[in-house]
Amino acid sequence: MRVVQDSNIWIGCTRQNMPFIFNALSALNETIITKLWIWDAHTTTIPSDMFAQVRPRVVSIERSRLATIRVGAFAPIAQRLKTLELRNNKLLFLDPLILRDLGQLEVLDVGKNKLTEIAQGQFDSLESLEVLLINGNHLKSIEDRAFQGLKNLKILNLADNKLKKITNETFFGLDNLEVLHLKDNDLTDIDWNGFLHLKKLKVLDLGHNRISSVTLRGLQSLEKLYINNNNIQSLTNVNLFGLKNLSVLYLDRNSISQINDEDLQILRGSGKLSLLTLNSNQIKEIGGRAFQPVESIKILSLSNNDISSIINYKVVFLANASVLLPLKKLVKLDLSRNNITEIGENDLSFLSSLKELLLDDNQIENVSTHVFKFVYLTSLNLVNVRAFTGLHLTRFFLANNKLKHLPKGIFDNIDSNILQAVDVSGNPWQCKCGEEWLPEWLVKMGRRVIDIKNMGCMATSGCDEVFAEDNEKGSVWIAVIASVLAVVSLLILIAIGFLYLDEGKLRRASSDLEWLIPRDTLNLLSQDNVKEPLVAGDFKIKPQFVSEEQIKPASILSQLPSKTVSSATEKKRVRFQ
């Protein structure tokens, strides 16, 4: 238990059991506080005298396993109590006797309990109640006129229950109701006359049900209508009469396959409509005049459909066949996650007020600088270079398409000073060195670029990296070739050296003859055979003339006696072994 005092006083108690909490509150001696907050405690039952000694304006008991409230428990604080929050507990039923003393209560929150039904007259004593939250229970039925005593109720939340039916008198008596939440139920059977008397209703949420058609009339104060996540298959099943203050209409996640010229005529009387969303349907075709009845809208969202073109082929002979032509006040256009392959130069140029354009996750392949010709619409996948001329965009998304190249100057008419975010990532960019301007432009955008990493070659700031890569590859090849040549040269040198050594073994110098011929054989040679003796000696040799062939070693040896030749051979063997 802790007491906090600032401009107000509140008491908080958590993770305690009921005896401890009861004793602590009993010791306060009728202390006036702003809020008593008990959470994550073990308080299955609130006794009748629990608040006898404390006077809070707000009582909040949350996530405390509360299942039973004794009659008279709130009587001591009834005149002061304004807000009662019993959220996230285990209440099965609210006894009218428990609430009978709470005539001054303004807010009652019994959300996320286990309530299964609301009986007639159950809340009749809560005359001052303005907010009733019963969302997240197990409600299957609501008796007729169950809320008739809540004359001042402004907000009723019945979301996230199991309701299947709304009758003509379900909301009888709620003349001042402004907000009604019925989303996340199983509604299929609705008597739309049950909403007729809700003259002050401003917000109606019917999302996440099983509704196949809607018929609302006379709700002149209605501003926001949510019919998303239902079973509506055609806009002809949405009949909205006299909703002159309607500004927001959500039709997301239904089964709508097309928007014909007459489908939105029912909204012609809703001149204040500014937002129309049809995300996640199955829309393939849009009539050329489909958006004329809603020409005042500022936000149009058609994300996640099957739209392949915003050109109306039935009126392709016109100067401008864009289905968006009537929407000259459009500020935000979301065409992401479709199958759009082309955006012509006249498709968006008239949207002079457009500030946010989302074209990510389409099938746009490239941007052409050629003049757009309607005759080629079925075969060309182009976005004309002037497609964005005149647009004053603040957010621009072309991510995850099939763009390979953007011509220089395509963004020249977009004021970069007002541009807040741009995303062209996730495209299969093919960079042409010397022609790429986009990387430099993205650098100038700085932090306004949402994803710079998923840009492929566009993530570089020019051709420097390309040249560096080419030079690196060239250097590698040069090194390889030089290495091969060096190896070949080395092998050649080794071969030359081997041949040189081998030839040296076979060659003989003339001086070797002195060692090949024994000295004792020299006397056999005539002194006339040579001009000078081979060796000096005491004996005289008679000169003898011989031919040139006769002085060759082989000839000389052949003239020697066999014994002498043998001796010479032995000397030769000894010398060269």
Confidence at residue 114, expressed as pLDDT on a 0 to 100 scale: 98
- Tell me how far apart the 2 most distant CA atoms of the chain are, in Å: 167
Higher local confidence (pLDDT), 184 or 407? 184
DSSP one-letter code for 343: B
SS3 60: strand
CATH code, domain carrying 346: 3.80.10.10
| pLDDT tier, 50 (very low <50, low <70, confident <90, very high otherwise) | very high
Number of domains in the chain: 3
Q: Which residues fall within 8 angstroms of residue 288, CB to CB, at 6 or more apart?
A: 261, 312, 314, 315, 321, 323
Contact 256, 283 (CB under 8 A): yes
Per-residue burial over 133-172, b if 16 or more Cβ lie within 10 Å, else e, is bbbbbebebbeebbbbbbeebbbbbbbbbebebbbebbbb
SS3 144: coil
Is the model's pLDDT at 343 over the cut of 70?
yes
Question: What is the overall mean pLDDT for the chain?
Answer: 81
Q: Is residue 79 part of a domain?
A: no
* Range of weakest confidence among 50-64, 505-519, 541-555: 541-555
Distance CA 185, CA 109 (A): 19
553 bridge partner residues: none
Is the model's pLDDT at 221 over the cut of 70?
yes
419 and 523 both lie in a single domain: no
Confidence at residue 565, expressed as pLDDT on a 0 to 100 scale: 42
Confidence at residue 459, expressed as pLDDT on a 0 to 100 scale: 59
What does the pLDDT look like over 268-322, one tens digit per residue?
Answer: 999 999 999 999 999 999 999 999 999 999 999 999 999 999 887 665 445 557 8
Q: Is residue 395 part of a domain?
A: yes
425 and 555 both lie in a single domain: no
* Range of weakest confidence among 446-450, 496-500, 534-538: 534-538
What integer is the mean pLDDT of 120-136? 97
Higher local confidence (pLDDT), 311 or 561? 311
Confidence at residue 421, expressed as pLDDT on a 0 to 100 scale: 83
SS3 74: coil
In sequence order, what E strands does 374-452 have?
395-397, 421-423
445 and 566 both lie in a single domain: no
Higher local confidence (pLDDT), 180 or 408? 180
End of a domain among 451, 479, 494?
451
Confidence at residue 174, expressed as pLDDT on a 0 to 100 scale: 98
What integer is the mean pLDDT of 72-96? 96
Q: Is residue 116 part of a domain?
A: no
- Spatial CA neighbour of 189 closest among 205, 168, 173, 161: 168
Higher local confidence (pLDDT), 283 or 476? 283
Confidence at residue 346, expressed as pLDDT on a 0 to 100 scale: 74
| pLDDT tier, 359 (very low <50, low <70, confident <90, very high otherwise) | confident
Q: How far is CA 167 from the centre of its chain?
A: 43
The tally of CA atoms less than 13 A away on the side-chain side of residue 479 is 6
Structure tokens at 494: 């080794």
Q: What percent of the chain has pLDDT over 90?
A: 53
* Range of weakest confidence among 78-92, 179-193, 333-347: 333-347
The structure's pTM equals: 0.71
Cα end-to-end distance, the chain, whole Å:
116
Distance CA 22, CA 383 (A): 73
SS3 235: helix
| pLDDT tier, 394 (very low <50, low <70, confident <90, very high otherwise) | confident
Distance CA 212, CA 210 (A): 6
Higher local confidence (pLDDT), 126 or 310? 126
Containing domain of residue 541, as a range?
A: 512-577
312 and 445 both lie in a single domain: yes
Is the model's pLDDT at 523 over the cut of 90?
no
Higher local confidence (pLDDT), 358 or 430? 358
Is the model's pLDDT at 515 over the cut of 70?
no
Confidence at residue 504, expressed as pLDDT on a 0 to 100 scale: 60
Higher local confidence (pLDDT), 5 or 162? 162
What integer is the mean pLDDT of 382-404? 63
| pLDDT tier, 94 (very low <50, low <70, confident <90, very high otherwise) | very high
- For strands 9-14 and 2-5, give the pairing: antiparallel
475 and 433 both lie in a single domain: no
Q: Is residue 206 part of a domain?
A: no
Distance CA 93, CA 106 (A): 20
333 and 403 both lie in a single domain: yes
Task: Of 175-184, 320-329, 536-545, give the range with the top mean pLDDT.
Answer: 175-184
388 and 316 both lie in a single domain: yes
| pLDDT tier, 31 (very low <50, low <70, confident <90, very high otherwise) | confident
How many other CB atoms are there within 10 angstroms of residue 474's CB atom? 10
How many other CB atoms are there within 10 angstroms of residue 290's CB atom? 22
Q: Is residue 3 part of a domain?
A: no
Confidence at residue 471, expressed as pLDDT on a 0 to 100 scale: 54
Confidence at residue 399, expressed as pLDDT on a 0 to 100 scale: 76
How many other CB atoms are there within 10 angstroms of residue 75's CB atom? 16
Contact 153, 132 (CB under 8 A): yes
434 and 318 both lie in a single domain: yes
What does the pLDDT look like over 365-382, one tens digit per residue?
Answer: 754 343 233 222 222 233
End of a domain among 451, 478, 494?
451
Q: Is residue 122 part of a domain?
A: no
434 and 321 both lie in a single domain: yes
Helices and strands in the chain: count of H runs, count of E runs? 7, 28
| pLDDT tier, 432 (very low <50, low <70, confident <90, very high otherwise) | low
| pLDDT tier, 425 (very low <50, low <70, confident <90, very high otherwise) | confident
Contact 60, 35 (CB under 8 A): yes
332 and 433 both lie in a single domain: yes
| pLDDT tier, 236 (very low <50, low <70, confident <90, very high otherwise) | very high
Residue 470: left if φ>0, alpha if ψ -120 to 50, beta else—which one? alpha
| pLDDT tier, 572 (very low <50, low <70, confident <90, very high otherwise) | very low
* Range of weakest confidence among 52-66, 227-241, 502-516: 502-516
475 and 534 both lie in a single domain: no
- Spatial CA neighbour of 170 closest among 139, 145, 205: 145
Q: Which residues fall within 8 angstroms of residue 565, CB to CB, at 6 or more apart?
A: 557, 558
339 and 445 both lie in a single domain: yes
CA dist 10 → 32, 54, 75, 100, 530 (Å): 9, 11, 20, 26, 143
Distance CA 284, CA 522 (A): 122
Q: Is residue 29 part of a domain?
A: no
Q: Which residues fall within 8 angstroms of residue 526, CB to CB, at 6 or more apart?
A: 541, 542, 543, 544, 546
Residue type, 465: E
For residue 46, with 0-12 CB atoms within 10 Å meaning exposed, 13-18 middle and 19 or more buried, which class applies?
Answer: buried
